[in-house]
Amino acid sequence: MIYFDYAATTPPTKEIMALHEKISKEYWYNCNSAHQMGIMCDQLLQKASNVIKNTLHLKKKKIVYTSSATTANNLAIYGICNSYLGQNKHIITTKIEHPSVLNCYKDLETKGFKVTYLDVNSEGFIDPEDIINAISSDTILISIMWVNNIIGAIQPINEVIKVVKRYPRLKLHVDGVGGVGKIAPDFDFNDIDLLTYTAHKLEGIKGTGVLIYQENISLNSNVKGGHQQEGNMPGTVDLAGAVCFAKTTQEAVKNLSENYEIVSKYHDELVNAFKGIPHFIINSPMHDYSPYLFNLSIMGLKGETIMHSLEQNEIYVSTTSACNATSKTLDKTLMAMTNDETRTIDAIRISLSHLNTLSDITTLIETIKMITEKYLKKEQQ
């Protein structure tokens, strides 16, 4: 079994599983109970938050633990926009965002917000100039993902920060799922007002996400309940999840450079194997890219077909478009980049990890080439 779908999720490490068990067994009390046991747990929760802050060198930030990056993104976006309902405000995002951001913006559009969806160029990057042109005195929020999860394009966040700095009332939200713990930032996390990411993409546990936000921001959460986490995410705090989240962050950042180097080699192998070869189009950019992602279109073969065929060879990748007799779901990122339906449907996403081996990569390359030869021939008959 060779797994290349790490962008969907990663296996938790043994250490994290052991830590989760320990916390679940020894610190099972409710962090918000006023007695000693509750206080003991709350102190551990604060410690976890401090670990995250120290690891990412954060100053004057608050942390909310959510159930996923999706709920963290929701909290970030609605947390800001709910205070401006009915005020005709303007918000900006990109066409290549994750659905947990895009669908919030779509929903807010129906609620009266003016929305600008930034285009990307043919390589998958936004242009900061477009932001400057779009900003008005009504603009209150802008959401830009750090690393696109379909093709791996690293957006020019430091340029975005420079633009946003000129407008102090404008809040910057960055979906950091593909970058935190994987890519060394060329910007300061402290310059981002709202940052989200999740642990299960970093060999952590599913069911936890985090929103890191500037401490003077008041969030207006959609979730109503008690006063846990200052009312931003009511509900009993998942302490085991939070502690594991902090530990996962710590480990990922510690191993960042080493892992990056390993994965870069694999990425280079893939580029060399498919660049300039007929029938293959590499959708991932060749500059400012995350080596953890490699998106490839095999023209003439549906991505789904390739995926299932690879599956038959016990190799797992993903596709982000679906096409059958009754419906077509086209991946938004690829369409925004190429406007080419065929290329979009024919794409597969290969996501890498330091857990892969070089022989995994070789096998993948050979198998793809073998499949292509086998099935393309058939189609051409």
Partner 1 sequence: MEEYILIRYGELSLKKTNRRQFINRASNNIKRALKDYINLKYESRGLRFYIVLNGTNPDEVISILKKIPGVYSFSVVSRCLSNMEDICDLALEIMKKEQVNFKTFKVETHRADKNFPKTSQEITQEVSRHLFRNIPGLKADVHNPEYTLNVEVRLEGSFIFSQSIRGVGGLPTGSMGKGVLMISGGIDSIVAGYMANKKGVAIEALHFASPPYTSDLALQKVVDLLEKLTPFAEHQNINLYVVPFTKIQQAIYDNCRDDYGITIMRRMMYRICQQFAKTHDCLAIINGENIGQVASQTLESMQTIGEVVNIPVIRPLATFDKEEIVEIAKKIDTYDISIRPYEDCCTVFVPKHPQIKPLLSKAISEENKFDYQTLIDEALNNTKRIGLHPRHHYQVIDSHDEDIF
Is residue 253 at the binding interface for partner 1, with CB under 8 A as the rule? no
Residue from 9, 250, 264, 313 that binds partner 1 (CB under 8 A)? 250
The Cβ of residue 216 has, within 10 Å, a number of other Cβ atoms equal to: 8
Residue from 7, 19, 145, 301 that binds partner 1 (CB under 8 A)? 19
Q: What are the φ and ψ backbone dihedral angles of 2, each rounded to 5 degrees?
A: -120, 125
Taking CB under 8 A as the rule, which mask of x and - marks residues 30-49 in contact with partner 1?
----x-x--xxx-xx--xx-
Report the DSSP pairing between strands 280-282 and 293-298.
antiparallel
CB nearer to partner 1: give 52 or 195. 52
Is residue 9 at the binding interface for partner 1, with CB under 8 A as the rule? no
Distance separating alpha carbons of residues 164 and 340, to the nearest angstrom: 32
Q: Which two tokens stand for residue 250?
A: 């710590």
Q: How far is the CB of 102 from partner 1 (least distance, A)?
A: 36
Q: Is the dihedral of CA 179, 144, 120, 343 positive or negative?
A: positive
Q: Which residues are designated catalytic?
A: 323
Is residue 246 at the binding interface for partner 1, with CB under 8 A as the rule? yes
Distance separating alpha carbons of residues 347 and 301, to the nearest angstrom: 9
Contacts with partner 1 by CB under 8 A: the residue count is 18
Is residue 174 at the binding interface for partner 1, with CB under 8 A as the rule? no
374-381, Cβ contacts within 8 angstroms, sequence gap of 24 or more? 375/301, 375/305, 375/309, 376/279, 376/298, 376/300, 376/301, 379/300, 379/301, 380/300
Q: How far is the CB of 236 from partner 1 (least distance, A)?
A: 18
Is residue 275 at the binding interface for partner 1, with CB under 8 A as the rule? no
Residue from 51, 217, 256, 307 that binds partner 1 (CB under 8 A)? 51
Q: CB of 239 within 8 A of CB of 47?
A: no
Is residue 243 at the binding interface for partner 1, with CB under 8 A as the rule? yes
Q: How far is the CB of 125 from partner 1 (least distance, A)?
A: 35
**CA count, 13 A, side-chain hemisphere, 34:** 1
The binding site for partner 1 (CB under 8 A) comprises 19, 22-23, 27, 34, 36, 39-41, 43-44, 47-48, 51, 243, 246-247, 250
